[in-house]
Every structure is written in structure tokens, then in C-alpha cells.
Amino acid sequence: MARESWASRVGFILAAVGSAVGLGNVWRFPWMTAEYGGSAFLAVYLCIVLLVGVPGLLAEFVIGRRSKRNPAGALARLAPGTKSWGYVGLFGVITALVLLSFYSVVGGWILRYFAGSFTGSYFAEPSAYFGRISFGAEAAAFQVVFLALTALVVLGGVRGGIEKATKVMMPIIAVLLAVLAGWAVTQPGAGMGLSFYLNFDPTPIQNDPIGMLRAAAGQALFTLSLGVGTMITYASYLGEDNSLAFDGSVISVLNTGVGVLAGLVVFPLLFAFQGGLTEVTAGGESGAIFMGVAGAFREMPYGEVIAVGFFGAILFAALSSSISMLEIPVAYLVDEQGVSRRSATVGLTGLVLVTGAICAFNPGIFDFVASTLVDLMLTAGLAGFLVFTGWVLGKDALSEYDSGAGRVARALGTPWLWSVRTILPLFLLVTLAVNLYALL
């Protein structure tokens, strides 16, 4: 049977944007921004997205399109004579399963808040509500539903499932968030939220430069779905030669745009209706955004309607990302082990039901996975992909990059390869070392 592929270039771009735009933009990003001091974090994060994220994205695209394989198969096949590089790809496959285990917990929360928005059931006591639903049997139950929805899309295959679903979901997310942001920034009191978010204040960088750098680097990789092999896998379904550099830039711009837009919803809401980053939100805890936003919905007219739009958008964003996580191990089993898509999807979902339940029942494990382990794994993974692209593929990477690229993109090819060989892996390895050191 022929390997699956995207029906169109737009389908590929939207699926990749779907993977990138997710809880990272609307939940993890405001959480990190609040914890690391607002605008300063935004600035550092944007720099890293541009200087490390975009080149890293292109490296994954090059590996994927050249090999037409899942990450493990891709690295093994492109490095003839040695099996070892395949393990770097396999590490990505495992990372995807780890990611999905915690991500689906948050996906379950979103599902729960979405359902509760119709009646406003969580409005009355936001903190108590979040405390009740966030971990334990109820959390696991909603996580199961979220995983089932994810599996349903992946079962449909590359064209019939992922491409179709993301083509519907992405425009809806953009419209909903744009409308919400337009409304939020015009609320009385929103201005303080905007200035926390947008007025550059370097003090937080001076106070804890290393911590800021670690968090911003981790978030930059997370937001673009890098270091796992999602983008390798999605690019492996490309047929014709599109400009990887152009598509990668579009994807990064849209992802950043949605992230900034989400910030324009969340921060004005918190400041206009909750008096800012209160004790609840300032501590930088994972549930802070939920409590803050829930409290804001209670205070505003037609809060239910706005809440449905808000959590509906986030639910779509979360699903279009979780399907990209599940697709990596599915592609691995299909490509390398000859398993059918159906069995692979069912089997892997069963596995994540178990590993995911561990996260849903243990807040400590969840926190460690969501904020520490994931940063480590993504950083290590992307460093591996970059070294592979720069040193194993070398000139071949450049010709893959060039194929389909326009004049501007071609001119940037050589500096791209140079940075992929040297400065970028170095940056990631230093980040990794600092992350490990912080664990001691």
C-alpha cells in the first residue's frame, strides 16, 4: 500500500499550524509569562522563537521530506551504515507519548470547562472548582474522552482525519480568539493587563536571567512542537516540492500570532475582572489561568456565551495538537513494524490511557512532567535533530532545503546550515546543561 500523503499544501500548513497552536499558546504561555514577569518573558521568548525555533523547524522539515518516514525510521534510513541515529528518532517517539500523557489531562480540563460554560457551573467558586476537578477520578474520566476524540481523528488517517479536521478547526480558532481579543481589550481596566503584557520592563531578566532563559527556551520549542519529531512526521507526508522555508515561516508567524492573541484575551480579562494577577494567578501554578479566567467570566455580562467561545477555541487548539502527538508513534508502528493504522491507533491510545492516568492521579508527577521533563526531552531531542541535519545530512540537507525554495529562501540556506551545525546545537546543549543543573 502506498504511504499516505497530504491532499494539498494548504492542508499540510494548516495541520502543522494545528500542531503548533495549542495549549502551549493559551495555557502554558500565559502561565510562564505570569511566572517570569510578563513582557520581559515575551521578548526573550520571541527572540528564541525566531533565532532557534524557526531554523529548528526547517531542520525537522528537511529530515521529514527527504526520508518520507516517521522520526525513528527517518534518522535510521538517512544515516546509512549505522543504526544509532535511529535511536535519536525513537527518543522522539517516546517523548510524544510522554507529552500526550500530561497534555491529555489538561485537554480533559478544557473539555470539562467547555461543557460547564453552557450553564456557568464553575463560575461560583473558581478555585474550589478547579481543586475538585483537576486531579483524580473525574480528571481521568474527562481525559479518557479527550483521548478518544484524539484517536478518532487519527483513525481517519492523514487526509481523511488530520487534514480534514484541522482545516475546519483552525479558522474557527482564529475567528473566535480575534473576536474575544477585540472585546477583551476594550473592557474598562484592560489597560493594566495590556501593559503588564506589552510594556517592556527588563527587571525580571536582570533578577533571574538563567531561569528566564530556561523557561523561554523550553516554551519556544514547546510552542512550535519541536524536538519530538512531529514536524518530521508531518513533512514526511509531503508530496510535491513546496518551499519549506516559506511554509515554515507562515507556520511560525501564525503560531506566534495566535499566542499573542491569546495573551490579548487572557491578560485583559484577568486585569479587568479579577484585579490583575491576584494570589491565585501570580504564583505561576498550572491551574492559575483557569481560576483567573473562570472568575472573570463570573463578573461579566453574558459570561456563559463568552466562556463557551473561549473554551471552544481552546478545545479545538488542544485537539489539533494532541492528534499530532499521537500521529508520531502511529506513523512509527505503521512505517517500521507494518502494523495497520487502526491497530496502531487503538493500541497506543490504550497505552496512553495508562500513562496518562498516572498524570491525572498525581499532581506532583503531572507538574514534573509538564514543566521539567518535557523541557528536557524537547531540548535534547531538537539538539539531536540539529546535529543530525548539520553533520550527517550536511550538504544533502541544503539541497533538500533548496528544492522548491524561492530566491530569498535560497540565499538564507547557507547561514541556516551553518547555524544548524554550530551555534544552535551549542545553545540547546547549554540550555540542557542548565536545566539539568537546576534539578540538582
Query: Which residues contact ligand PFF (rule: CB under 6 A)?
Result: 19-20, 22-25, 96, 99, 222-223, 225, 228, 230, 321, 324-325
**Interaction of residue 56 with Na ion, rule CB under 5 A:** no
DSSP 277: S
Task: State the Cα–Cα distance between residues 178 and 170, nearest whole angstrom.
Answer: 12
| Cβ proximity to ligand PFF, 329 vs 404, nearer residue | 329
Partner touching 15 among Na ion, ligand PFF, none, CB below 5 to 8 Å by kind: none
Applying CB under 5 A, which part among 20-28, 54-62, 153-161, 348-356 lies near Na ion?
A: 20-28
Output 218 or 303, the one with its CB closest to Na ion.
Answer: 218
Nearest Cα neighbor of 67 from 59, 12, 82 is 59
Rounded least distance, CB 25 to Na ion, Å:
4
**Least distance from C-beta 296 to ligand PFF, angstroms?**
22
25 binds Na ion (CB under 5 A): yes
* Contact partner at residue 393 from Na ion, ligand PFF, none, CB < 5 to 8 Å by partner kind: none
The nearer residue to ligand PFF, 11 or 404, going by C-beta atoms, is 11
Give the integer Cα–Cα distance in Å for 34 and 102. 21
Interface with Na ion includes 20 (CB under 5 A)? yes
Minimum distance, C-beta of residue 59 to Na ion, in the bound complex (Å): 18
Q: Which does 243 bind (CB under 5 to 8 A by kind): Na ion, ligand PFF, none?
A: none
For ligand PFF, give the closer residue by CB, 253 or 408.
Answer: 253
| Binding status of residue 24 toward Na ion by CB under 5 A | yes
Residue of 132, 152, 97, 21 whose CA lies nearest to 359: 97
Query: C-beta of 125: minimal distance to ligand PFF in Å?
Result: 28
Of 228, 185, 203, nearest in space to 94 by CA: 228
Q: Are 187 and 339 in contact (CB under 8 A)?
A: no
Residues 25, 197 contacting (CB under 8 angstroms): no
Q: The C-alpha cell of 257 is what?
A: 500570532
Compare residues 22 and 303 and give the one whose CB is closer to Na ion: 22
Residue 23 vs 213, nearer CB to ligand PFF:
23
| Binding-site partner at residue 19 among Na ion, ligand PFF, none, CB < 5 to 8 Å by type | ligand PFF
Residue nearest to ligand PFF (CB): 24
Q: What is the CA radius of gyration of the chain?
A: 21
Q: Which does 99 bind (CB under 5 to 8 A by kind): ligand PFF, Na ion, none?
A: ligand PFF
| Residue 320 binding result from Na ion, ligand PFF, none, given CB thresholds of 5 to 8 Å by partner type | none
Please report, in angstroms and rounded to a whole number, the separation of the first and last CA atoms in the chain: 50
Nearer to Na ion among residue 20 and residue 213 (C-beta): 20
Q: Which contacts (CB < 8 Å, 24+ apart) does range 51-54 have?
A: 52/217, 52/220, 52/221, 52/424, 52/427, 52/428, 53/220, 53/221, 53/223, 53/224, 53/226, 53/252, 54/224, 54/248, 54/249, 54/252
Query: Of Na ion, ligand PFF, none, which one does residue 134 interact with (CB within 5 to 8 Å by kind)?
Result: none
Q: Given the complex with ligand PFF, which of 228 and 353 has the nearer CB atom? A: 228
Residue 72 dihedral angles phi and psi, to the nearest 5°? -65, -45
Q: In angstroms, give the least distance from the CB of 173 to ligand PFF.
A: 12
Partner whose footprint covers residue 281, from Na ion, ligand PFF, none (CB < 5 to 8 Å by kind): none
* Amino acid in position 3: R
Query: Which three cell numbers mark 305?
Result: 456565551
DSSP summary character for residue 2: P
92 binds Na ion (CB under 5 A): no
CA distance 105 to 237: 29
Under the criterion CB under 5 A, does residue 292 sit at the interface with Na ion? no
Angle at 174 between CA 171 and CA 176, to 5 degrees: 105
Which residue number, 20 or 42, has a Cβ lying nearer to ligand PFF? 20
Per CB under 5 A, which region of 16-24, 81-89, 242-250, 285-293 contacts Na ion? 16-24
Decide: 5 and 238 in contact? Cβ < 8 Å.
Answer: yes
Report d(CA 146, CA 106) in Å as an integer: 9
Rounded to an integer, what distance in angstroms lies between the CA atom of residue 132 and that of residue 338? Answer: 43
Cell of 263: 495573551
Distance CA 50, CA 128 (A): 40
Q: Find the shortest distance in angstroms from Cβ 228 to ligand PFF.
A: 4
Of residues 185-244, those binding Na ion (CB under 5 A)? 223
**Minimum CB–partner distance for residue 304 and ligand PFF (Å):** 26
* Nearer Cβ to ligand PFF (259/303): 259
Which residues in this chain contact Na ion in the complex, by CB under 5 A? 20, 24-25, 223
